[in-house]
Amino acid sequence: MTQYLIRRILISIPTLVAISIVIFTILALAPGDPLAEFAMNPAVPPEVRQRIRKSMGLDDPIPVRYVKWASSMLRGDFGYSFRSKSPVIDLIRQRLPTTLYVIGTAYLVSVLIAIPVGVLSAIRQYSIFDNVATTLAFIGFSLPTFVTGILFILLFSVKLGWLPMIYRTTIETEGLAGLWERVKQALMPIMVLGLFETAALTRYTRAAMLETIHQDYVRTARAKGLAERVVILRHAMRNALIPVVTIVALSIPGIFTGAVITEQIFRVPGMGSLLISAIRDNDTPVIMAITIIFSALVVLFNLIADILYGVLDPRIKYE
Amino acid sequence: MRRGIPDGGDELGATREEGVVMDELKQLEAAARTGQLNRREVLKRAAALGFSAPAIAALLAACARQEATPTTAPAAQTPAPTTPAPAGTPTPAAAASPTPAPVAQRGQGGLVKLLWWQAPTILNPHLAQGTKDFDASRIVMEPLADVNDAGELVPILAEEIPSVENGGVAKDAKSVTWKLKRNVKWSDGTPFTSKDVKFTYEYVINEATTATTMGNYQVIESIETPDDYTVVIKFKNPNPAWMNVFVGPYGMILPEHVLRDYVGEKARNAPFNLNPIGTGAYKVKEFRPGDVVVYEINENYREPDKPYFAQVEMKGGGDATTAARAVLQTGEVDYAWNLQVEATVLDQLEKAGVGVVEVIEGVNVERILINMTDPRKEVDGERSKLGVPHPWQSDLRVRRAYALACQRDVIANTLYGRAGKATSNILVAPERFVSKNTSWKFDLNEAAKLLDEAGWTKGPDGVRQKDGVRMEIVYQTSINPVRQKTQEIIKNAFEQLGIKVELKSIEASVFFSSDPGNPDTYAHFYTDIEMFTNGPSSTYPLDYMISWYGKEDNIAQKANNWAGNNIERWQNEEYDKLFEQAQTELDPKKQEELFIKMNDLVVNNVVIIPLVHRNGVSGRKKNLTGLELSRWTDETWNIANWRRSG
Amino acid sequence: MSEVTEQRRLKTPAGAVGMAVTLPARKPRSLWSDAWRQFRHHRLAVAGSFVLLFMVIATIVGPFLWPIPWNHFDMAEALQGPSLRHPFGTSDLGHDIFARILWGGRISIAVGVVAMLVAVILGTLIGAVAGYFGGFLDSLLMRMTDMFISIPSLPLLLLITYLFQDRMKAMFGIELGMFLLIVLVIGGLNWMPVARLVRASFLSLKQKEFVEAAHCIGVGTGGIIFRHILPNTLSPVIVAATLGVAQAIITESALSFLGLGFPPDIPTWGRMLYDGINWIEFAPWMVLFPGGAIFLTVLSINYVGDGLRDALDPRRMFAV
């Protein structure tokens, strides 16, 4: 086990290097321009824009740019953003708490709702509960977040006036009132994202449970006279968890990169909006920093998932 | 980290204060702040003077601020040694304010919330990367003068506007002399002088700084500062556009004492870029790039009774429609910028009655460019090459037929609404340069006749052809819902004429990029027609009219990495002559003639088809007043005068 | 645990060793005929198939029957609610939304289903190979999966547009070329969860007794992977597939906002939904009908998927 862990961690280093090279190359080749907005501004003539492009090193050969980036990265320096000229690490630090709070809560809520609902749906397959849950899940999944977001705004902000539609990081109110304000403004983004995530996860949980619930060992457990609760939780669910763990482990790193559309609708200053605006502005240092951290998380959580498989099903061997 | 607390400022301030006659309230507040009076005494005196409750509240806030700070550092808290605005020169904005408040009180208005759906990322205007950055910087920084909606210069840091009459502008227009306001201070307390102006020039013109505003300053030969309050700018050539430098968004002055060591390559590492020191009404309290800027009052601001709002919050991000909802429907923000929303939707949202839509007549024209060169033929590794004429668009009759097929009023009314009106001109501002000789109409029959005359007749499948060449065009633009609908309307009319149209839409950051390697940019123009918006940035719009100047190196092509301004690759000797003449023409009457002639040449030759004269549209809450939006400068330019009524 | 399944599955194609003896008179029942009986009894699945079939036929035949062409617009009729003339109302330019739903459905359903198939097939193959063989191959394939998950899709899409859009257009013509490009792109960006799901199931299943049994009777590697293990991993794959259709339909509209894919004047369901969202209070039909069409398609595909899964699982014969 320890040996397996060490080997996996060692493998992850060349993996990350390879990923960084591929991503860097894609970014360098992808079309776009940091100064596109000024194209239609006669006060910023084309030759000035080209000079600035050059000064950012955008016209250098890709290997040169990569080595430059990688060597400062090795020194723990993520570099400076082309756009705001501030250290990338500061930008990430500013965004991380909000992202973890809003997006993290949404994921947590969706896991907490989806697993019980999925299990119940499976136990009572084709019951009213199951059909309602299925229909809701598909409404949640076929309506993209830009639709549910606007619907929620219309209902809760415009009609009822209960919740603010703009997320503010600058709330200064202190004490309970301030806390309530902070919670209130996060409710809609959490609901929108939670709905979407719950929808998908419910389906996976339900399917996995259906697969195990009719197995012989579950019948055996029942035949032994075990309580239904024990049968479901110990015998059926444990084996059903493998796909669920896979899906959850896949989406946890996503908390770090945020949720672009939801963040955009409610103006949540999370990592998603940072990444997307960096991409639109060709702000390579910012994109690289975020994607590298993200891929490290992906590698890490896949490792965790692999270990959990072994825990859930002892027959799986670590090779 | 706040920078630069003035040393010994309090003593200076205290002595000056005595000499200055202030109204009672002002004195009380100052006394409260410096701690000469405690809360109770302030209250008593204020009540005795008969002040209203909000005024007293503001006073108490001043006390609280004083009481909360450790007594060891009173220096930092000393109120602005406010010199009153020079008598007799009130800013026109203040005079024009629709609600003249009897007792103007600094900071009385609390927090004002602005919403820009693009978020500012940098607060140094000379390194700005978009309008939002200029708008956000302008709240802190100031130019020598700004330009109001009528196109008139309004003195900001200048004492008066130079003119030929007052001797500020030389007769040959080769130099201009600015007199600066005295007693202006940077927010850190350092006095503002002519050296800062000169420094700004040196900062911007240094190629290694890579200032985005550099283009405006290349006309300068040298700058002299005979004394602390006089700046003499010498131009390389007679310059009728002298007002392009140190004026408006591209002219904000930088503090030499802060940025001295950050010229050239080091410019990008200056802490100033995120936390600027300015002479404006506000200073930055907190800045999260890409999200929000919070401003608080610059205590050193020169006008004692301004600004009205104690704090300004400029939130960024999101999209235009939800921004419109926030200001028109829920009233969560006081002001929202650039509401590019479908006309009908905007009208409906406004009915909620919370906010109103402000329309500022704009300078931009949405237009269709017609390629004079052949985008299909590749010659020497380049398509749309100068000298390779377009198979049918080089024929004026065909181009006129195109223009006749554009239903401009329908596009303007249904898609733009208040945000635009149909136009036949390419130069729609300033007023004196607008041509009255042009007109447009929508007439498919006449268009068909023109095409027939030109020899392009309908084939069996309904597509026009001549000598085996089919009239099939590609029509590109950037991705934007209104543009895609415009494309659809125009395609519909063109296809009725028998011209087959393929629509292409390109991500804006790609379409507008200056990447020489990408064929999909507007400057490569590898399609038959394309559409975008453009307009002058200066009231002497040479920098815009250069778009049709036909000199070889001004034509976007491979040789100059497509960095030329002339994208249609249209060449016309008469136009070139007019343009060259306008570069040095000083007689206002002749200037008008020149620009109108240039406009008419481009329009009558149908080099482009002007579609819609676009307006700026923003939203404000009903009770926000004092706005004086101008098409020539940042919407935030007079934020010191913004107020809340009722 | 899956021995029962296995026996049943073993017997079917190979000729049924034991059952043939006990039931000599009857025509041997195959897995598929069993599945079909089972499926027929699954009411929701049957309903789902009908709805789906109806929608496919409607989108294929409909545009020829409906008198208003999809690209015709009349601004005098803009923003009208549903009526006899325009059963689904009209858009802000005065397009007939019904005509556009019919026409756009062709593209949306085709893109949704084909892109999903690309993702599922690719993901299943990679997951199966990685899970079954393990070791270096697993490591290699999974790290590749990690990479695909990590690549930010927006620049990748812009790059693909830039590199391939014109070439595909030139090679296959504008419509087929764009269709192939979109389907490959969406499939190529969405196979990773399927791969990881399939691999996880394989890791667990390959240690089970019935696989050992198959080894013992000399079934080849391919047979074990595809005939013995794969059918047991279907249930998460079916979920991924149904969700994948919805995702592909929405993603297609997102792609058109990057200038990738069909020209902007071609209405697809996702695009219509996006175009309508600003009008949601004033002309809700602009959102309701495309949204409803996506929902109905995905829901029916889900029930068909559910029915298929149940039908293929013999232990649930009596579940209906």
- CA dist B50 to B25, B43, B47, B483, C212, Å? 10, 11, 5, 58, 96
What is residue A37's predicted lDDT score, i.e. its pLDDT?
67
For the cut 50, the answer to whether the pLDDT of residue B9 exceeds it is no
Cα separation, B341 vs B334, in Å, equals 18
Could you write out the DSSP letters of every residue in A234-253?
IIIIHHHHHHHHHHHHHHHH
* Segment 123-162 of chain B within 8 Å of chain A by CB: 124, 127, 129-131
**DSSP character at residue B223:** E
What is residue B104's predicted lDDT score, i.e. its pLDDT?
63
**Helix/strand number for chain B, H first, E second:** 19, 21
* Span B140-192, pLDDT tens digits: 999 999 999 999 999 999 999 999 999 999 999 899 999 999 989 999 999 99
* Structure confidence at residue B90 as a pLDDT band (50, 70, 90): very low
Q: Residue C45: which H helix or E strand, with range? A: helix C43-65
For the cut 70, the answer to whether the pLDDT of residue B10 exceeds it is no
What whole-number percentage of chain B has pLDDT above 90? 67
Residues A256, A319 contacting (CB under 8 angstroms) = no
Strands B420-422 and B529-534: unpaired
B226 touches chain A (CB under 8 A): no
Residues A19, B226 contacting (CB under 8 angstroms) = no
C137 touches chain A (CB under 8 A): no
* Structure confidence at residue B457 as a pLDDT band (50, 70, 90): very high
For the cut 50, the answer to whether the pLDDT of residue B51 exceeds it is no
Please answer yes or no on whether A47 and B268 come within 8 Å at the CB atom: no
* Structure confidence at residue B43 as a pLDDT band (50, 70, 90): very low
Looking at every residue in chain B, the average pLDDT score rounds to: 85
Pick the more confident residue, A44 or B84.
A44
Mean pLDDT on B521-538 = 93
* Count of CB atoms situated within 10 Å of the CB of C170: 10
Which pTM value belongs to this model?
0.82
Cα separation, A212 vs A122, in Å, equals 10
Looking at every residue in chain A, the average pLDDT score rounds to: 86
Pick from A177-191, A229-243, B393-407: least confident: A229-243
Mean pLDDT on C21-30 = 55
* Segment 293-332 of chain B within 8 Å of chain A by CB: 294, 313, 315-319, 322, 325-326, 329-330, 332
Cα separation, A53 vs B191, in Å, equals 36
Residues C201, A242 contacting (CB under 8 angstroms) = yes
Cα separation, A198 vs A247, in Å, equals 12
Pick from B26-40, B233-247, B488-502, B609-623: least confident: B26-40
Alpha helices in chain A (DSSP H): 2-29, 46-55, 62-74, 88-99, 105-123, 128-142, 145-152, 175-213, 216-223, 228-230, 238-257, 260-266, 271-280, 284-312
Q: Give the phi and the psi of residue A139 in degrees, each rounded to 5.
A: -65, -45
For the cut 70, the answer to whether the pLDDT of residue C23 exceeds it is no
Residues C50, C309 contacting (CB under 8 angstroms) = no
Cα torsion through C211, C213, C218, C219, rounded to 10? -40
What is residue A143's predicted lDDT score, i.e. its pLDDT?
81
B251 touches chain A (CB under 8 A): no
Nearest beta carbon to residue B289 from set A40, A84, A153: A84
Could you write out the DSSP letters of every residue in C117-139?
HHHHHHHHHHHHHHHHH-HHHHH
* Span B582-633, pLDDT tens digits: 999 989 999 999 999 999 999 999 999 999 999 999 999 999 999 999 999 9
Residues B104, B58 contacting (CB under 8 angstroms) = no
Size of interface A-C (CB pairs under 8 A): 160
For the cut 80, the answer to whether the pLDDT of residue A159 exceeds it is yes
Please answer yes or no on whether B317 and A273 come within 8 Å at the CB atom: yes
* Span A23-81, pLDDT tens digits: 899 888 887 666 776 766 777 777 777 777 777 777 788 888 898 888 888 888 888 88
* Segment 70-129 of chain A within 8 Å of chain B by CB: 80-81, 83-86, 91, 94-95
* Structure confidence at residue C34 as a pLDDT band (50, 70, 90): confident
Pick the more confident residue, A171 or B466.
B466
Please answer yes or no on whether B317 and A269 come within 8 Å at the CB atom: yes
What is residue C27's predicted lDDT score, i.e. its pLDDT?
59
C303-307: long-range contacts, CB 8 A cutoff, minimum separation 24: C303/C42, C303/C44, C303/C45, C303/C47, C303/C48, C304/C45, C304/C48, C304/C49, C304/C52, C305/C238, C305/C239, C305/C241, C305/C242, C306/C42, C306/C44, C306/C45, C306/C238, C307/C39, C307/C42, C307/C44, C307/C45, C307/C46, C307/C48, C307/C49
What is residue B77's predicted lDDT score, i.e. its pLDDT?
35
Q: Amino acid letter at A30?
A: A
Please answer yes or no on whether B543 and A43 come within 8 Å at the CB atom: yes
* Structure confidence at residue B134 as a pLDDT band (50, 70, 90): very high
Q: Amino acid letter at B569?
A: R
Q: Tell me which chain C residue has its CA closest to the CA of residue A310.
A: C204
Q: Give the phi and the psi of residue B140 in degrees, each rounded to 5.
A: -105, -40
Could you write out the DSSP letters of every residue in C225-263?
IIIIIGGGGHHHHHHHHHHHHHHHHHHHHHHHTTT-SS-
Please answer yes or no on whether B208 and A43 come within 8 Å at the CB atom: no
Three-state SS sequence of B313-361: EEEECCCHHHHHHHHHHCCCCCEECCCCCCHHHHHHHHCCCCEEEEEEE
For the cut 90, the answer to whether the pLDDT of residue B375 exceeds it is yes
What is residue B502's predicted lDDT score, i.e. its pLDDT?
92
Structure tokens given for C100? 């556009």
Structure tokens given for C170? 């030139």
Pick from B275, B286, B201: which is nearest to B245 by CA? B201
Looking at every residue in chain C, the average pLDDT score rounds to: 82
What whole-number percentage of chain B has pLDDT above 70? 84
Please answer yes or no on whether C146 and A26 come within 8 Å at the CB atom: no
Residues C57, C87 contacting (CB under 8 angstroms) = no
Mean pLDDT on B364-386 = 93
- CA dist B26 to A88, B29, B612, C187, Å? 44, 5, 50, 69
Residues B166, B158 contacting (CB under 8 angstroms) = no
Mutate to test the interface with A, among C43, C146, C196, C204 (most CBs of A within 10 A): C146
Strands B608-621 and B643-644: unpaired
For the cut 50, the answer to whether the pLDDT of residue B73 exceeds it is no
Cα separation, C103 vs C86, in Å, equals 15
Pick from C292, C116, C263, C9: which is nearest to B488 by CA? C263
Which residues of chain A lie closer than 8 angstroms to C204, CB-CB?
242, 309, 313, 315-316
Mutate to test the interface with C, among B346, B520, B527 (most CBs of C within 10 A): B520
Please answer yes or no on whether C147 and A144 come within 8 Å at the CB atom: no
* Structure confidence at residue B92 as a pLDDT band (50, 70, 90): very low
Binding partners of C (≥3 Cβ pairs within 8 A): A, B
The side-by-side arrangement of strands in the sheet containing B457-458 is B457-458, B464-466, B469-470
The predicted complex's ipTM stands at 0.86
Residue with tokens 């079916």: C238
Pick the more confident residue, A38 or B635.
B635
Residues A262, A193 contacting (CB under 8 angstroms) = yes
What is residue B514's predicted lDDT score, i.e. its pLDDT?
79
For the cut 80, the answer to whether the pLDDT of residue B135 exceeds it is yes
Structure tokens given for C79? 């923003």
* Span A246-260, pLDDT tens digits: 888 888 888 888 788
Nearest beta carbon to residue A169 from set B214, B291, B514: B291
Residues B536, B363 contacting (CB under 8 angstroms) = yes
Please answer yes or no on whether B479 and C259 come within 8 Å at the CB atom: yes
Residue with tokens 């290349």: B218
Residues C80, C279 contacting (CB under 8 angstroms) = no
Q: Is A40 exposed, middle or buried (0-12, 13-18, 19+ CB in 10 A)?
A: middle
Mean pLDDT on A126-145 = 86
What is residue A250's predicted lDDT score, i.e. its pLDDT?
87
Residues C141, C123 contacting (CB under 8 angstroms) = no
For the cut 70, the answer to whether the pLDDT of residue B306 exceeds it is yes
Pick from A237-241, B385-389, B447-451: least confident: A237-241
* Structure confidence at residue C25 as a pLDDT band (50, 70, 90): low
Q: Residue C114: which H helix or E strand, with range? A: helix C97-133
- CA dist C3 to A266, C17, C131, C205, Å? 52, 15, 20, 11
**DSSP character at residue B423:** -
